[in-house]
Amino acid sequence: MKSRMLTCVTTFTLLSALAIPIWLAAQDHHQTPPTYSVPCTSTGGTDGGSGGSICNLPLYRQQADPGSRTVPPQCLGQPIPPHGVMASVCQLVPRSTKTRQASNDLPPNRDRGTYSTFDVPGAGQGPYEGTFPYAVNDLGVVVGGYFDASFNLHGFLRTPDGTITSFDVPNSIDTNPASINVWGAIAGEYLDASFNSHGFLRTPNGAFTTFDPGSPTGINDLGVIEGDYADSSFVFHGFVRSASGNITSFDPSGSVATFASGINLAGMVTGGYRDSNGGFHGYVRSADGGITSFDVPGGSSTGGAGINLWGAITGTYGDANGTHGFLREPNGAITTFDAPGAANGTNPYSINFSGDITGVYVDANYAYHGFLRDHDGTITTLDAPGSGQGNYQGTIANSINLWGVITGSYNDANNVGHGFLRIPH
């Protein structure tokens, strides 16, 4: 696990980045809707591990003027509730039409966000040590890992007021959080004293549940965890762990190695798999277990990285010219893209409710830059203040939440890692 983390910190090769197509249309009413419903009628606890419904959250009570909303195509014809009441995720649109029009009046490709940088107390300050955020939830809580001066890996969470709490799975030698849901439940992996990897769930009150097999890469707001693991023959498989703790392994047809990278509220999982000929393909798995494989036309390899509420997927594909980003819409249509200046690869990681995508690209000098691809296709370069511009230095944007808040890390000129949070204009 540590070597996996170190690869991200030092070389950012990003070969594990798997893509999801983005849903382009909070304003495109011609989009084919997905064939599942959002589980707003679910009941249960609200601890992120027992099946609580996100529709009970104050977050999902729209406070904007209903007349300014842009309505997703899946929600056309559904009644809009009274002002201030959230009856369905179909009434949730985080940014109004008025906000979008104001942004379009400004020059494109200019970073208009506000950055906050931070370091976890106790994080090492030597080369390749430091603070590395991985994910931000829809309430603005950040989760990630940090290396101390002995190069041991610990977990942390940072609340919107800047309070940082570090944590370790009991009896672990390394703790590597991967994802956090809206309730504050965290999923990830840890190493025991024998260097064996296991999965963990940390509840909002700080209690740990460990499980096997599993190397989690995501947790949704209903407490469902996805990830992958290697069996005794070192063959990789995907898995889904239900909120009640049941684990289901899966592999797309023809797979000899399956990797999982993202899950949405409906339980849809995306990732990539390798076939017996060495080809790499993307897939999407529905909550009922059905798996659809896909490839970017003209690409030699395809992998999904993230998936949003509507089933839009973003990820990376390769061809003779390197790596590029893609968006796969819920109806299967694929759009490819490259960040301006991406001489050595574009690697998307995360896609939010609105179809905004974030990730990293590599320039001609092998420096790293974060990027934001707006759902209208506009791409903005993101460079955190203080980020280095040498080889394998720079900014990586790992995660974007419902409101467009982005978290990630940057290496400075001394190759020390730091965290950042970017608030949209």
- Tens digit of each residue's pLDDT (9 = 90 or more) over 220-253: 999 999 999 999 999 999 999 999 999 999 999 9
213 C-beta neighbours (distance < 10 Å), count:
18
The mean predicted confidence, pLDDT, of the chain is: 81
Same-domain check for residues 360 and 272: yes
Same domain, 90 and 120: no
Amino acid at 9: V
User: Side by side, which strands form the sheet with 208-211?
Assistant: 174-180, 186-191, 197-202, 208-211
Ramachandran region of residue 85, left (φ > 0), alpha (ψ -120 to 50) or beta? beta
pLDDT level of residue 95 (50, 70, 90 thresholds)? very low
CB 145 within 8 A of CB 154: yes
Give residue 58's domain range: 54-104
Dist CA 374 CA 270 (whole Å): 21
Question: 195 exposed, middle or buried (CB, 10 Å; 0-12, 13-18, 19+)?
Answer: exposed
Do 90 and 170 belong to one domain? no
Please state, in angstroms and rounded to a whole number, the distance separating the CA atoms of residues 259 and 272. 5
The Cα 208–Cα 231 span in angstroms is 24
What is the share, in percent, of the chain residues with pLDDT greater than 70? 74
Residue of higher predicted confidence among 311 and 22: 311
**How high is the pLDDT of residue 73?**
39
| Residue 71 counted as domain residue | yes
Q: How far is CA 155 from CA 48, 172, 255, 260, 343, in A?
A: 18, 11, 32, 21, 33
Q: 336 and 373 share a domain?
A: yes
Cα–Cα distance list, 308 to 25, 175, 314, 327 (Å): 12, 27, 9, 11
Q: Could you tell me if 161 and 233 lie in one domain?
A: yes
153 in the same domain as 68: no
Q: Which of 87, 104, 121 is the endpoint of a domain?
A: 104
Give the model's pLDDT for residue 154: 98
Residue 111 pLDDT class (50, 70, 90 cuts): confident
